[in-house]
Chain A
Amino acid sequence: MRKGLIQSCGEDLTLLQIDSLSVEYRTLASTAKAVQDVSIGLEKGETLGLVGESGSGKSTLGLAVMGLIRPPGYVTSGRIVFEGSDLRMLSEGALRAVRGRKIAMIFQDPMTSLNPVKKIGDHYIEYIRAHDPTISEADARSTAKHVLEDLGIPDTRIDDYPHQFSGGMRQRVMIGLGLALNPSLIIADEPTTALDVIVEAQILKLMSDLKSKYSLSLILITHNMGVVAEMADRVAVMYAGRLAEVATTTQIFESPKHPYTQALLDTIPNIEAEDRVLKAISGTPPDLTDLPTGCPFHPRCPYAFDRCRAEVPELIQTGERSEAACFLLEGMLARPSLKSRD
């Protein structure tokens, strides 16, 4: 048990515990450190929002939990404990029994995830039977009808092809595929990014309804702070492969502790805010093959001091089930220079 483990929650509630996970992508020329030393837990029934910019490692973390990191990507260290067993220790066969049936993933772009020459129903039948060949085709088909109905798609459309569906309907089909084997954890990677705002809101509503109906836990990977505010119980903010901050959604938005979280919230326009001046974050996210020394955010951090350039800060407890990785927080959480919002 290492840092980052929230122990107060009691062992039986924990569904997933990631400990010091690191993932690299290696090429001949360089190595990109996509995820570094990430430790985070997820309780049963919880929605964890995993936010960050492109290259922050959020998708890689999701893929690692699914056991889907393939060369040139390598999980270099860490444990992924799901329902008591370390997924990294499982054989490919045993992992296959978890993947899909216990943990399912929903991807961003439904058009490239669905086979254009295959009927919607056949996607379900193939998916269900690939994971459990003992299920008959007829049973798989009736499961498919059942799931589609939950998604608001009439079962008469089970023999349609993907191109006959609109973008929102396709994303519903993808969500349904994720649900078809009744998993306990769904990892949704930018599930609404390709959708228009009204359809996005419909899909988010659908996901939270289904989450309670199927008693799911959810890891929602997104770059959109609005989506997180809408959906998540807890939020993990990633920057350059590391966790910058993990906290309850209320704490993230009302009193963010990490300078990156604060800066991120100050830089996004909000239609509800009155004539707020946006504060741009200077600089750009770092190159993962050539990371700065010390805290990865220090070149852009307004509060950076010598130690930030030399050492990597560890996560420090900032509240119940909340942590942030910043030296400023050591010993003095209510530091005046780190003003709270509003």
Chain B
Amino acid sequence: MFLTGGDVGSAFIEVERLRKYFPVQKGLVAQLFSRSTESVKAVDDVTFELEKGDVFGLVGESGSGKTTTGRITAGLLKPSMGKVVIDGTDIYALQSSGLRRFRKKMQLVYQDPLSSLNPKMTIGDAIGEPLRYLSDMKESKRRDAVLELMDRVGLSPSDMFYGRFPHQLSGGQRQRVVIARAISIGPEYLVADEPVAMVDVSVRAQIMELLLKMQKELNLTLLLITHDLAVAKYMCNKISVMYLGKIMENGRTKDLFANPQHPYTRALLEAVPIPDPRHRGGKELLSGEIPSALNPPKGCRFHPRCPYVFDRCSLEEPGLVEHDENHAVACHLYTEGKSSVLLAAKKSK
């Protein structure tokens, strides 16, 4: 039951019924004449649990709410509703000073390393920033600590890199700087938001390996946000697939790829271009695009695009139900015993 949030106590991170609604700004006239405030339901009732050392992938298309979820769990964005419990502490119940102290435990790595770094600050200073503000380390010791971190993430010779500025580094090296900075104060939880999306193809594997190495060495719990299913498959042991603010399916990486249950997960996997010309063609593609989160479809959010839609889908929202062990899916086909249509579709291919 680790995925649907049943038992309490063993999990390191518990995310419970998380919601984040962003109100939409209206003009003055509209404000005067209409009472209802519209909101973008970026994250709508998301629950998951992570054990220490998990590498958990949140995958989905843009607008699915994966980044918002990641930011909330890292303590950077207050949820509209729901709880984030890390190591037994409900982080949004903390006072601001408590949250500040707690931040040592959680760090972020963003997609674009150039905009995550101050262009006027040497990378040695940048990596030392968290140590300066969040630890008691003496200034005299900081330089050595930073040099050691730089060696650790492969920025060597470290004393040569220490005084350089971000623009003097390649994209991959900058991402190493950001990773070094994130691990500098010994976090236990790391959120990496599309960490390789902007890195050159030939350097991506280096960065993925580095993240996994740091994860192992520091026993980090890693939340990886990515749109790239191949990256998620390579790095994660658990994956949740999000669509319009909801988790559609979650499970162990192996199970999810071997036996994708939700029609949306299947469509996503089908659409990925495979670097092997023998797989060419014959794809069953979904039509349409992800709708606006301002006014999501009633019932199952995926029903207007789902090839297997039936009456109940437009009326009632399916809950996330575990049909196989540690593998949950939010789809009426499974609760109604109609999942055989998916198998039939798979075989006929």
Contacts and interface: CB of A to CB of B under 8 A. Distances in A.
Contacts of B269: 271
Interface string A94-134: 00000000000000000000000000000000000000000
B280 A205 contact: no
Contact of B276 (A54, A229, A278): A229
Interface string A237-277: 00000000000011001000000000111011111100000
Interface string A166-178: 1111000000000
B230 A198 contact: no
A284 B231 CA distance: 20
Contacts of A278: 205, 208-209, 234
A249 B274 CA distance: 13
B279 to A, nearest CB: 6
B306 interface: no
Interface residues of B, number: 43
Interface stretch (B125-133, B284-292, B315-323, B327-335): B284-292
B170 interface: yes
B4 interface: no
B167 to A, nearest CB: 12
A262 B206 CA distance: 16
Nearest to A341: B276
B230 A227 contact: no
Chain A interface: which size bin? 35 or more
A149 interface: no
Interface string A277-313: 0111110110000000000000010000000000000
B163 to A, nearest CB: 19
Interface stretch (A135-143, A179-187, A218-226): A218-226
A341 to B, nearest CB: 10
Nearest to A54: B200
B275 A199 contact: no
A52 to B, nearest CB: 9
A227 B270 CA distance: 13
Contacts of B172: 284
Given A53-B201, A282-B206, A284-B170, A271 B277 contact: no
A281 B204 CA distance: 9
Contacts of B62: 196
A205 B276 contact: no
A267 B268 contact: no
Which A-B residue pairs are the 8 nearest by beta carbons? A226-B273, A280-B205, A201-B271, A269-B230, A196-B61, A225-B275, A284-B170, A269-B234
11 contacts: A169-B289, A196-B227, A197-B227, A226-B274, A229-B274, A265-B275, A269-B205, A270-B276, A280-B205, A284-B171, A284-B203
Given A53-B200, A278-B209, A285-B202, 20 more contacts: A168-B289, A196-B61, A196-B62, A197-B227, A197-B229, A198-B267, A200-B271, A224-B273, A228-B275, A229-B274, A229-B280, A264-B201, A267-B201, A267-B205, A269-B205, A271-B229, A278-B234, A280-B203, A284-B171, A284-B203
